[in-house]
Structure 1
Amino acid sequence: MDISTVRKSFGATEVLKGVSLSVPPGGVTVIVGPSGSGKSTLLRTINHLEKVDGGYITIDGRLVGYQVRGTKLHELREKDILQQRTDIGMVFQNFNLFPHLTALENVAEAPLVALRPGDPRRRTTAEVRARALELLDRVSLKDRADAYPRQLSGGQQQRVAIARALALDPKILLFDEPTSALDPELVNEVLDVIRELATSGTTLIIVTHEMGFARDVADTVVFMDQGQIVESGTPQDIFTNPREERTRSFFSKVIEPAFNI
């Protein structure tokens, strides 16, 4: 996936200021930085939940959200944008589960309604439900398949959300602060699931404030501030020997002394 000079403003506030980033297939890219630096907005442009004001994003060489006509980019029709999103799974901060559906039904919903006839991922209802059970088992929740979101803890709801995002076999999986809405004692159960995914070959892009987790799972760490990428590199590069003073300043305030640079 390639992000090329992406800009995004909300009113007079420029949130993304020409961001460029290449994400290799199968890699784990973790984006860190202070609140308001544009991390979540960048994530939302990847699946066109936010339209870009300039630049473009491609996945496997295909533009996200747009097509070229002549010399200009034109936004795709909504149904085509929705179809593109089946290749880009996303796990939100606040779970976003359907409250009237069970855990199993939440995971099975997208494959049943979002995949067009002819899509090689399309399956029968029985096959989709069987796959949904497999995914719930993968996140250690097969025994709660018939539970409704209100009957699950926050950590369990987020694990269902991860299973749901995997149900379409996406090319890329996005995580937007996946533990920020959880009580501290529930954080690790979600991070453990993501750690397992990080070894599975799925392309992951993760926005997080969990610095120890970022260091453990990332192939590439991206540090953002004020709508720009300040620097990127391996966890060793960024956490142990950052080049930029702004990066050093940030980590000196957010990393515990035993983990300090």
Structure 2
Amino acid sequence: MTIDTIDTIDTGVGGLAGSEAPDAPRTGLVEISGVHKSYGAHEVLHGITLTVEPGQVVALLGPSGSGKSTLLRAINHLETIDAGSITIDGEFIGYERRGDRLHELPEKRVLQRRTRVGMVFQNFNLFPHLTALENIIEAPIGLRRANRTGATERARELLSRVGLADHADKYPRQLSGGQQQRVAIARALALDPDVLLFDEPTSALDPELVGEVLGVIRGLAHGGTTLIIVTHEIGFAAEVADHVVFLDDGRVIEEGPPQRVLRAPEQARTQEFLDWVI
């Protein structure tokens, strides 16, 4: 497999250790450079370049099919890319650099690096045979980040944080959609990621349940973790985002602070989209 600017890829291992010095820089810097992605003959990302600063809250907006979810999944290496590069604090999730080449990591190493990035999907993706608490402790225990006692204590703290302290022993089928999504957020937080990705976290919810999930995300915003949120909730984006990026046809059409992009966009295509969704 050959990737422009990513060079030839083959199997390898590797990793970077983070500094624990008290004055270490904040983590969660996401750098996306010249990213292309195609499915067959259809190119869905056309040279995306974007920088998300540590602790920044970024909202990705755009019509269906604009490449928002594909870009989000590429950050977490759930989608491979055809050209360009994506790093978090200078480190690739799915590759390591050897000289002037990038070599694909085995899945075990990818999973280890992916713990730096939490992701909340549209459709919750909870394990149906596990309780809410068991869904949250599964990854920390499986990756040997905590023993069962420590993971359980942390999971109960997270369930309380998302307003579900009394639902720890319930299975997903016993929870509403909004409650399931809040469990999914708690699960994403269990590994203390540097970056949190939200892929239209309210799109599968009934309208009356949207507010409870947005409330949890609102509480996470500006808490120090980098947040990248794909959403159609324009008002919510205006409220919580530091930076708004509008994508169309796999390209960044416009980006900037929400008060400018959402109230006085410079590009006609951005205004056309806003007129349609608001």
User: Structures share a fold, TM > 0.5?
Assistant: yes
Matched, 1:70 2:93: no
Matched, 1:10 2:39: yes
> For 1:202-258, what per-residue CA distance to the aligned partner results, in whole angstroms no more than 9, with x for missing partners?
110000001100100000000000001001000011011111111011111111xxx
More helix as a share of residues: 1
Aligned-pair identity (%): 66
Tell me how far apart the structure 1 counterparts of residues 154 and 260 of structure 2 sit (CA, whole Å): 39
Tell me how far apart the structure 1 counterparts of residues 69 and 143 of structure 2 sit (CA, whole Å): 24
Tell me, yes or no, if the aligned pair for 2:56 and 2:222 is still in contact at 8 Å: no
Matched, 1:28 2:57: yes
Shift of 1:154: 0.2
Shift of 1:69: 2.8
SS in 2 for 1:240: coil
Tell me, yes or no, if the aligned pair for 1:97 and 1:149 is still in contact at 8 Å: yes
Tell me which residue corresponds to 2:108.
79
Tell me which residue corresponds to 1:149.
172
Matched, 1:242 2:265: yes
Number of corresponding residues: 249
> For 1:76-126, what per-residue CA distance to the aligned partner results, in whole angstroms no more than 9, with x for missing partners?
1111111111000000000000000000000111100024xxxxxx22210
TM normalised by structure 1 equals: 0.94
Tell me how far apart the structure 1 counterparts of residues 262 and 62 of structure 2 sit (CA, whole Å): 12
Q: Which of 180, 200, 212 lines up with 1:177 in the alignment? A: 200
**1:80-99 mapped onto 2 (5 Å cutoff):** 80-99=109-128
Q: Which of 21, 26, 47 lines up with 2:76 in the alignment? A: 47
Tell me how far apart the structure 1 counterparts of residues 57 and 112 of structure 2 sit (CA, whole Å): 24
> For 1:11-67, what per-residue CA distance to the aligned partner results, in whole angstroms no more than 9, with x for missing partners?
000000110100010110000000000000000000100001000111111122112
Q: For residue 173 of structure 2, what is the amino acid of its counterpart?
A: R
> For 1:152-175, what per-residue CA distance to the aligned partner results, in whole angstroms no more than 9, with x for missing partners?
000000000000000000000000
Tell me, yes or no, if the aligned pair for 1:86 and 1:114 is still in contact at 8 Å: no
**1:131-146 mapped onto 2 (5 Å cutoff):** 131-146=154-169
Q: Which of 225, 233, 236 lines up with 2:248 in the alignment? A: 225
Matched, 1:161 2:184: yes
Query: Gaps (5+ residues) in structure 1?
Result: 116-121, 256-261
Q: Which of 199, 214, 217 lines up with 2:237 in the alignment? A: 214
Tell me which residue corresponds to 1:108.
137
Shift of 1:74: 1.9
Tell me how far apart the structure 1 counterparts of residues 140 and 192 of structure 2 sit (CA, whole Å): 9
Tell me how far apart the structure 1 counterparts of residues 231 and 125 of structure 2 sit (CA, whole Å): 18
Q: For residue 106 of structure 1, what is the amino acid of its counterpart?
A: N
58-67 or 124-133: bigger deviation: 58-67
Q: For residue 221 of structure 1, what is the amino acid of its counterpart?
A: V
Tell me, yes or no, if the aligned pair for 1:56 and 1:64 is still in contact at 8 Å: no
Tell me how far apart the structure 2 counterparts of residues 5 and 176 of structure 1 sit (CA, whole Å): 21
Tell me how far apart the structure 2 counterparts of residues 218 and 112 of structure 1 sit (CA, whole Å): 33
Shift of 1:200: 1.4
